[in-house]
Amino acid sequence: MTKPYSPTTTGKIERWHRTLRRELLDDCGPFASLAAAQAAISKWVHTYNHLRPHQALDMATLASLFRPNPQPEPVKVVPAQRSEPAPVSAEPVPAALVLAPSVHAVEFDTVLPASGQVSIIPSVQRIRLGVGRAGLRARIWVDENTVHVLVNGEVVKTVPSNLDAEHLHQLKLRGARPAGPPPAPPSVDCVGDLPSHQALEVERTVDPNGWINLAGQRVKIGSELANRRITVRLDGHLLHAVHDGLLAKTLPSPFTSGERPRLRGARVAATQLPPAPAAVSVERKVPTDGVVMVARQRLRVGRTYAGRIVTIYVEIYVEDTHFRVTYEGAEISLHARKDQHPVTRWKAKIHAPKI
């Protein structure tokens, strides 16, 4: 019996049956009993392994070159040793827990099918990448703990591995090669319990209404990032949305700082938080009551500026967002942003005078 979805194993067994039939069964004829058949086959197996030379091995026997592999040791999670608090540095902070590298890690290249779902071993693990990446060439890095999927040299997905050492050996038989170092930090499910100060990252696609799903919770990111692929970074009590290498938005985290939810596809953050983009500006013409509207929020500028066009800068900070109102380069007021409604109108409406 062979495992399902393993044609390479089936082919090897069929080739061995051919050799058994040609070198033993075709010459010996019917056996008198099962015991006689077993004795003849055992004798032939001994001859095949210990006495019969093989041209592919420079006329050596199989038994002379066979070396049993040691039983692989289980992967151990080793906490980093910290004797005293490290000084604040501009360098990236290393992960708090280190996963022992696997000696069985392999990698292979594949073309993503039209379904957008890549099969590592169809009966064991499949990874959905989306139909938008169909036809692209991907590199798969996999060991017993983590699977990394790379497209154009960038890691697009990191998930826990369902494979064991035998599955990785099957991938080698199918053409997979020994892998180099991991291209990204391991999956969170494989590093055990993390300290509360350890930041996590996970990839998500914002839906058309500006929402994402995190561990069964709906989080409002904003319609300005609708249908965009973003990196969500959970850092303490804050949630950062990163898009195109820039900090797009910072929101309160839906999880407490000590809560470590099981996020699908999460990984340990290995880099520092990217910088925020420059502040965006909008223009408004101040009406007679001196109040303008930006992102559904009323900003009192003052009747003094009625009829004039002011510029409002939407400045993004780490934990808060403000509206900074300026006129002719001078700041005239500062307003705390009360909600996360996106800015949809950028220019001032200038109505033609009534005749």
Q: What is the pLDDT of residues 80-125, one digit of tens each?
A: 454 454 454 444 444 434 444 566 789 999 998 888 888 888 888 8
Say what the pLDDT of residue 82 is.
47
Q: What is the pLDDT of residues 293-347, one digit of tens each?
A: 988 889 998 898 998 988 877 765 434 567 888 888 888 888 877 777 777 787 8
Is residue 232 within 8 Å of residue 204, measured between CB atoms?
yes
Q: What is the pLDDT of residues 151-175, one digit of tens each?
A: 988 888 888 888 888 888 888 888 8
Pairing mode, strands 77-79 and 117-121: unpaired
Does residue 350 have a pLDDT over 80?
A: no
Does residue 57 have a pLDDT over 50?
A: yes
Say what the pLDDT of residue 3 is.
64
Cα 88 from Cα 228, distance rounded (Å)? 34
Say what the pLDDT of residue 140 is.
93
Q: Where are the domains of the chain?
A: 7-65, 102-184, 200-268, 280-336
Is residue 280 within 8 Å of residue 344, measured between CB atoms?
no
Say what the pLDDT of residue 109 is.
92
Q: What is the pLDDT of residues 327-337, one digit of tens each?
A: 888 888 888 77
323 or 78: whose pLDDT is higher? Answer: 323
Say what the pLDDT of residue 108 is.
92
Mean pLDDT of 230-234: 88
Q: How confident is the model at residue 138 (pLDDT cuts 50, 70, 90)?
A: very high
Cα 129 from Cα 147, distance rounded (Å)? 13
Say what the pLDDT of residue 274 is.
78
Q: What is the pLDDT of residues 26-51, one digit of tens each?
A: 887 788 888 888 888 888 888 888 88
> Which candidate, 221, 227, 297, places its Cα nearest to that of 254?
221
Say what the pLDDT of residue 92 is.
47
Task: Indicate if the alpha-carbon torsion angle 119, 125, 126, 128 is positive or negative.
Answer: negative
The two tokens of residue 88 are 């604040």
Task: Indicate if the alpha-carbon torsion angle 55, 58, 59, 65 is positive or negative.
Answer: negative
Is residue 187 within 8 Å of residue 155, measured between CB atoms?
no
Cα 340 from Cα 323, distance rounded (Å)? 12
Q: What is the pLDDT of residues 139-155, one digit of tens each?
A: 999 998 889 899 988 88
Does residue 206 have a pLDDT over 50?
A: yes
Cα 108 from Cα 143, distance rounded (Å)? 12
Say what the pLDDT of residue 228 is.
87
Residues pairing with 346 in the sheet = none
